[in-house]
């Protein structure tokens, strides 16, 4: 039983990271109907920026928030410069552009920072807590804490602020929003910026565990896809629940299903994605879209 609780707890901690990245994916999907394949690499690149700032001698939290700002600006720029021209293009075009972006960010990071793994500091150092027979790492608890703060902030932002409401309106009904005076184009760009910042949080929190290298986010992105698919690409809350569920499922399967272990971790995510897409393509909480012909 102790092992079970232990695994669930650490599953929730990694699940928080998947949830953050999945949330970033969903925010972009909601705003522009694009599945952003470069979300993981954007997060990785932001984490490298944070690393540079730390190397320059800034204290951790200053670097952390500075990175969020940089990631936000970067996200807005990417939307304005690269995604904008293909906004109304066929899906294939958008997918290809996103893949192009993924490849560019990955190689530029490798070019600047080399492919050698770098250690990344955690803001929550120290010995794990002991509760009965269960160990709770400080970093794990910190992970859960930071992701919760991010979710609450985003919830408040989208629920209670004018700007947040305007962004949701722009995503849901661009024409009507334009009529009431919302600048739809800029709202979409802001959505990309916010998603980039949320992704950056995920990157900076996962880096102490995985070590920083340009391919760090590949596996995390796959799990974030699984989370967003499970929760539903049209539901931000679903993405969070999906992320936590996927984190727990991942850990439990690795512990209790002996032939899978840790060697087939990515395959578990793949199987999950395909099963959900086959049996409930809109996910647990997504809305079913009906297209008029």
Partner 1 sequence: MPSRSVKAAGLILLIAVACALPFVLSGFRLFQFSQVFIYAMALLGLNILTGYNGQISLGHGAFYALGAYTTAILVDRAGVNYALTIPAAFLLCLVVGFLFGIPALRLEGLYLALATFSLALAIPQILKYFEHWTGGSQGIVLSKPKAPWGLPLTRDQWLYYLSLAVLIVLFVLGRNLLQGRVGRALVAIRDNPIAAEAMGINSALYKSLAFGVSAAYTGVAGALSGVVVAFVAPDTFNVFLSITFLVGVVVGGLASISGAIFGALFIQFVPNWAQDISKAAPWAIYGIFLIVFMYVMPRGISGSLRLAWSRLVRPKR
The footprint of partner 1 (CB under 8 A) covers 35, 37, 82, 85-86, 89, 91-93, 95-97, 99-108, 110-111, 115, 218-219, 221-222, 225-226, 229, 263-267, 269-270, 273-274, 277-278, 281, 293
Residue 81: CB minimum distance to partner 1, A: 10
Output the 3-class SS for the chain. Answer: CHHHHHHHHHHHHHHHHHHHHHHHHHHHHHHHCCCCCCHHHHHHHHHHHHHHHHHCCCCHHHHHHHHHHHHHHHHHHHHHHHHHHHCCCCHHHHHHHHHHHHHHHHHHHHHHHCCCCECCCCCCCCCCEEECCEEECHHHHHHHHHHHHHHHHHHHHHHHCHHHHHHHHHHHCHHHHHHCCCCHHHHHHHHHHHHHHHHHHHHHHHHHHHCECCCCHHHHHHHHHHHHHHHCCCCHHHHHHHHHHHHHHHHHHHHHCCCCCCCCHHHHHHHHHHHHHHHCCCCCCCCCCCCCC
Residue 98: CB minimum distance to partner 1, A: 9
Q: Considering the complex, state which of residue 83 and residue 184 has its C-beta at the smaller distance from partner 1.
A: 83
Q: Considering the complex, state which of residue 122 and residue 235 has its C-beta at the smaller distance from partner 1.
A: 235
Residue 103: CB minimum distance to partner 1, A: 4
Q: Considering the complex, state which of residue 130 and residue 292 has its C-beta at the smaller distance from partner 1.
A: 292
Q: Considering the complex, state which of residue 146 and residue 195 has its C-beta at the smaller distance from partner 1.
A: 195
Residue 288: CB minimum distance to partner 1, A: 13
Q: Considering the complex, state which of residue 43 and residue 144 has its C-beta at the smaller distance from partner 1.
A: 43
Residue 1: CB minimum distance to partner 1, A: 30
């Amino acid at each position: 039983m102790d092992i079970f609780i232990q695994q669930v707890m650490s599953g929730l901690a990694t699940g928080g990271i998947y949830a953050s990245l999945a949330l970033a994916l969903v925010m972009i999907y909601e705003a522009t109907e694009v599945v952003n394949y470069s979300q993981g690499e954007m997060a990785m690149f932001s984490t490298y920026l944070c690393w540079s700032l730390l190397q320059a001698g800034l204290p951790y939290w200053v670097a952390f928030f500075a990175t969020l700002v940089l990631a936000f600006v970067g996200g807005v720029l990417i939307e304005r410069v690269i995604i904008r021209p293909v906004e109304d293009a066929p899906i294939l075009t958008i997918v290809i552009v996103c893949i192009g972006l993924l490849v560019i960010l990955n190689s530029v990071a490798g070019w600047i920072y080399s492919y050698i793994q770098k250690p990344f500091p955690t803001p929550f150092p120290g010995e794990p807590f002991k509760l009965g027979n269960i160990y709770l790492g400080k970093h794990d608890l910190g992970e859960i804490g930071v992701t919760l703060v991010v979710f609450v902030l985003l919830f408040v932002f989208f629920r209670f602020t004018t700007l947040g409401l305007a962004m949701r309106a722009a995503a849901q009904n661009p024409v009507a929003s334009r009529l009431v005076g919302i600048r739809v184009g800029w709202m979409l760009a802001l959505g990309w910026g916010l998603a980039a910042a949320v992704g950056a949080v995920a990157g900076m929190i996962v880096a102490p565990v995985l070590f920083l290298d340009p391919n760090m986010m590949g596996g995390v992105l796959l799990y974030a896809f699984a989370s967003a698919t499970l929760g539903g690409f049209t539901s931000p809350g679903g993405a969070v629940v999906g992320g936590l569920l996927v984190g727990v499922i991942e850990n439990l399967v690795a512990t209790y299903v002996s032939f899978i272990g840790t060697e087939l971790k990515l395959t578990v995510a793949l199987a999950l994605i395909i099963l959900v897409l086959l049996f409930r393509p809109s996910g647990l909480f997504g809305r079913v879209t009906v297209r008029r012909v």
